[in-house]
A and B are shown apart, each in its own frame.
Chain A
């Protein structure tokens, strides 16, 4: 493929001062990740130790998507559990024993901490250790925090994967590890492309079953597929594994550069790389061009949500012709994000954290053509005449890699096209 990408900006956003906000946040907590993690890990059960609020959050976020008995549940703390610590640990043992007796298909159990369990200092790590010993070798029990006082939305997945990194066996093999829970169709595409370049075996974290697991070690090379996996990144570094830094695989450019970084590590030739990627690159470019017609030259404003904001702003500005006004992210991990920040032209406000009312003021003043925000804000902003895209869909739908690049652009252009399409006034 000879066509070149837009040249990188002379000054990217990597050194732009970040607007740090501390006020009311309008975001999910890390428990939400359970909704997609439990689909991905088919022998895992997620047991939240929390309150009725936590159970209600999971239900509201899952909506009507799941009607079978799902592989997650909440152990709701009651008045009696709050009275004494010893009781709560015993109660947890009882709940887990009953659960595992009823669900022999469960091979990994995650005890997920919540705000209430953390405030009362219920030690889930200790509980997991005790239970692992009790239920070994049939069930592995791990713990992580998905609480709203420790984690924001996608950080729940990060905390879960970071908890798995230390228990993977050791290996000296030089292997590629892809990190992030992607929809199966997307994961298969990625693996297919990389294998076609002659790289293998390819490992994936999380594996879909505990028995599919592999080892990691100093010769493991890993690529992150999601920008929010920063603790996992650090946990893998502690195991000696090496990070392949790259922009995230959104859009044609992101995917190409991400694959390129991997290919370089495994000495894949130019010719081979072109042979594997030329056709899907051309398809992606064409699909993005078509799908982004309606948003070319329009402005976009990101409320913080999933930490996908910076890579997506890079995609929208460089491949779809949009102008970013503000890019808000709940957290910005400079090391993981630098490749994307370097490609994002200087100009937009880069904001970390949130003060939702002040951010709404800025958004109303800027009147962007498209606002990317959470479900609590979308309809109210639409009612004020702004066009919105719900951010959560970006996490729930397949948007990575070449074949989804057009769909990704479509997610942003559909609301814009729809607003142009609707004629709800009288003809006169």
Chain B
């Protein structure tokens, strides 16, 4: 039994829904109680889809349990076929139906439907959403795609996009463009927005572009074995990764690497002087393994940030991320416990978080700016405008998105200069944001903010030495702008404890500042 407040991933059948909802002509018959229909709103509200997910739920009730729930499933499957006339079906159980063991796959077979009914075995009490999507896509490919003669022209499949995916809609456009520039045509994009009959044609491509390992790695491996299709390893998020991707694709396709970077603005924006203030910003990254890995590279090599920590919630990527973290000299946090992530962020006191919607909440609580880089995301991360993460435009979008929550370069100086000014004052936050950022719960007591209320000295227990801030130093600390105060406090305390100093004076503060100066 595991106590859980917020979760990064839903149950595996939600992953299967993401595959079915991304596709056309596919229908999912799900043996599940009525409450499980909540999942529809993820697609209709968060992603703003204008149609219902193609899912029929059996919605069995307690009174059905004693009798026969199997007939409910058979009725629902038959009715769904007749009403929606899909080209193919997937059938399976949610967590509750898994316990009553009706075997939806076997039941569907007895119906003798004139279309393929693909059974899904998704262990709800062991695995999660990404596994569900990956396994579902694999089962669909295995059931529907067969080895075929390759196309005369060099072609590729794009695999991995699903419903509810973070920027999948726009990434497809961007990657298609990258391939087109090299004269490579796209054969099938799957699972979203393919039909079952398009899935059947996957085998005729020369290779696969694995856009999202989270949702299509198993299928990619299968197609490598079954159809002799190699697949790409680089995920083209960021400038460097996009260039690497182009080189990798050129090799797989046997063509010249070509990248039209005439619209690429990100490197210049990052080099221009206003971006100097980004140098060494301490960032913490958390999300799915793929996005975190790609964004860590952007953060360090393309934005000039300092990566102080990273982690992912999907265990499937734990090994990859652990070894990557080593290269960055940090320890990877592999957990799906949101409170653990919050604790790590509090410890590290980064100046910025690159995370999911959960980290956005954490950032709000702690007063740390946050940009979203990975699912799970909320409605505001499905923007109306074209907003990919991949390729050339993706790099431009990422620059803008990450800089947005930060205090701008010149403004940072103004804040330091006019600290007492009523408009520029410390807690006003970045001027282009309506809400004000608040620094809380980072070991900085509220007493720091109100000068009248500082009877209790600031005290921190850092290892063996108890450290006390002398009133003057405490006052000085308060003068440091809020967006670097956490760092200043931490550095000073580390500096003091390393030297066995138990009382922090104004001098200690400035000695520490000099010590850490970069």
Contacts and interface: CB of A to CB of B under 8 A. Distances in A.
B11 interface: yes
B51 interface: yes
B99 A119 contact: yes
B50 A31 contact: no
A76 B1 contact: yes
Given A56-B11, A63-B378, A70-B5, A51 B125 contact: yes
B44 interface: yes
Interface in A370-391: 374-380, 382-383
Contacts of A24: 37, 56-59, 76
Interface in B348-394: 357, 361, 364-365, 378
A245 to B, nearest CB: 29
Given A82-B125, A357-B83, A152 B11 contact: no
A28 B35 contact: yes
B194 to A, nearest CB: 21
A163 interface: no
Contacts of B45: 375, 378-379
Given A25-B59, A382-B50, A76 B5 contact: no
A77 B33 contact: no
Interface in B465-498: none
A224 B365 CA distance: 38
Contacts of B41: 60, 374-376
A49 B3 CA distance: 9
A64 interface: yes
Contact of A148 (B10, B34, B79, B357): B34
A69 B339 contact: yes
Q: Give the most central of A57, A120, A149: most B CB within 10 Å.
A: A149
Interface string A18-32: 000001111111111
B7 A52 contact: yes
Nearest to A90: B1
Given A51-B11, A375-B45, A73 B35 contact: no
Q: Give the most central of B1, B2, B128, B357: most A CB within 10 Å.
A: B1
A80 to B, nearest CB: 8
B24 to A, nearest CB: 15
B48 interface: yes
A56 B7 contact: yes
Interface stretch (B60-68, B204-212, B236-244): B60-68
B60 A116 contact: no
Interface stretch (A2-10, A92-100, A275-283): A92-100
Interface in A53-104: 53, 55-57, 59-61, 63-64, 67-70, 72-79, 81-82, 88, 91-92, 94-95, 98-99
Contacts of A404: none
Given A56-B10, A79-B125, A67 B364 contact: yes
A394 to B, nearest CB: 16
B48 A29 contact: no
Contacts of A148: 33-36, 59, 96
B56 A55 contact: no
Contacts of A382: 50
A342 B44 CA distance: 37
A49 B76 CA distance: 28
A237 B479 CA distance: 64
B6 A59 contact: yes
A126 to B, nearest CB: 16
Interface in B489-510: none
A28 B38 contact: yes
Interface string A27-58: 11111100000000000000001011101110
Contacts of B76: 24
Interface in B304-348: 339
Given A24-B76, A28-B38, A119 B378 contact: no
Contacts of B126: 78-79
B40 A55 contact: no
B41 to A, nearest CB: 4
Interface string B60-84: 1110010000000000100100010
Nearest to B51: A380
B4 interface: yes
A52 B124 contact: yes
Given A64-B378, A377-B52, A75 B57 contact: no
Contacts of B50: 379-380, 382-383
Give the contact-size bracket for chain A.
Answer: 35 or more
A231 interface: no
A380 B339 CA distance: 36
A353 to B, nearest CB: 10
A51 B44 contact: no
A242 B481 CA distance: 63
Contact of A150 (B44, B62, B83, B124): B62
A226 interface: no
B49 interface: yes
A338 B181 CA distance: 70
B100 interface: yes
A152 B99 CA distance: 21
A26 B40 contact: yes
Contact of A376 (B37, B65, B339): B37
A147 interface: yes
Contacts of A23: 59
B229 interface: no
Given A67-B361, A76-B1, A52 B95 contact: yes
B179 interface: no
B14 A56 contact: yes
Nearest to B12: A52
Nearest to B338: A69
B378 A25 contact: no
Contacts of A32: 35, 38
Q: Give the most central of B38, B48, B128: most A CB within 10 Å.
A: B38
Interface string B89-122: 0000011100110000000000000000000000
A176 B11 CA distance: 45
A379 B99 contact: no
A44 to B, nearest CB: 16
A377 B44 contact: yes
Contacts of A329: none
A118 interface: yes
B378 A75 contact: no
Interface of A: 23-32, 49, 51-53, 55-57, 59-61, 63-64, 67-70, 72-79, 81-82, 88, 91-92, 94-95, 98-99, 115-116, 118-120, 147-150, 152, 357, 374-380, 382-383
Given A67-B361, A67-B365, A148-B36, 18 more contacts: A24-B59, A26-B40, A32-B38, A52-B11, A53-B13, A53-B96, A57-B36, A59-B7, A76-B2, A76-B3, A78-B1, A120-B99, A148-B35, A149-B62, A149-B96, A375-B40, A378-B44, A382-B50
18 contacts: A24-B59, A25-B37, A25-B59, A32-B35, A51-B125, A60-B39, A64-B357, A64-B378, A67-B361, A74-B5, A77-B1, A95-B3, A116-B95, A119-B65, A149-B62, A150-B62, A379-B44, A383-B50
